A and B are shown apart, each in its own frame.
Chain A
Amino acid sequence: MNPTPLSWYLGLSAVLFTVGVLGVLVRRNVIIIFMAIEIMLNAVNLAFVAIARSLGSMDGQVMVFFVMTVAAAEAAVGLAIILAVFRSRETTNADELMSLRW
């Protein structure tokens, strides 16, 4: 039994997503920007799971499984890129990383 309405979960998901967008917009540190992206992915996961529960279908949860896999791959590659950039540039400040090649 689940008396909490679906729209509450979707509202929470929307708020979390916006917090993530805000983090990407206002922060300078690339690692924090990455964490904000993870918050956005998780907000979407919450929406998927809530809608899957509401429709009584497992497909939403399968989609969350794929989102998690992609997030793990993205974190691994992204952090490797951050490490490589830090080695040559000594910074993780997004405003200083402007050129595409050096």
Chain B
Amino acid sequence: MNPLVFLLLAVLTVAAAISVVVTANPVHSALGLVVTLFLLSVFFVALDAQLVAVLQVIVYAGAIVVLFLFVVMLLNLQGERRLTGGMGLLVAAIAGALAFTALLVTLLGRSAPAPSTTVPAGFGETQALAQRLFTSHLLAFELTSVLLLVAVVGAVALSRR
């Protein structure tokens, strides 16, 4: 990806993520979340992760955010106080966030290995991912199916009463 395009997309992504956190209306937050997730899927395509990018759009933007919007509209949330704790906590949180970001960016920039310019053929496609998933990560995959079953049963049990 062209560095200029990367910077533009990165600024847009961070702006969308910040809009999720700062807007008062939960519906606007959910829409900001959709924009963030779509922009992240563009980065995934640029990083040769085509299947993950498609899954990101289908699972996150398609299913999870719709679930969020559904709950927001069901509860009809309006006119709540936005921030917790008051200004002191807000200033402390922002200062801490800036310091944490500076620390992480410095550490990661230093420790990062040089990117490999060549990847194996078919990298990031469905076949390569499925090959890893169903051979070396088979146990985790099966456990994930149990987790999803438990989540479905739990969600039904919680909402029935």
Contacts and interface: CB of A to CB of B under 8 A. Distances in A.
Interface of A: 1-12, 14-23, 25-29, 31-32, 34-36, 38-39, 42, 45-46, 49-50, 52-56, 58-59, 61-62, 64-66, 68-77, 79-84, 86, 92-95
- For the complex of A and B, the 6 pairs showing the least CB-CB separation, nearest first, are A73-B151, A14-B104, A23-B21, A10-B108, A80-B158, A7-B109
B63 A86 contact: no
Contacts of B49: 49, 52-53, 61, 64
A18 B102 CA distance: 10
A34 B20 CA distance: 11
Interface of B is mostly: helix
Contacts of A5: 112, 114-115
A84 B144 contact: no
Nearest to B149: A73
A23 B21 CA distance: 5
A73 B144 CA distance: 10
Contacts of B93: 22, 25-26
Interface string B98-126: 10110011001100111111111001100
Contact of B30 (A9, A25, A35, A55): A35
A57 to B, nearest CB: 9
Given A2-B46, A55-B116, A95-B84, A29 B158 contact: no
Given A2-B117, A14-B101, A22-B97, A53 B67 contact: no
Contact of B47 (A15, A49, A70, A73): A49
A79 B101 CA distance: 29
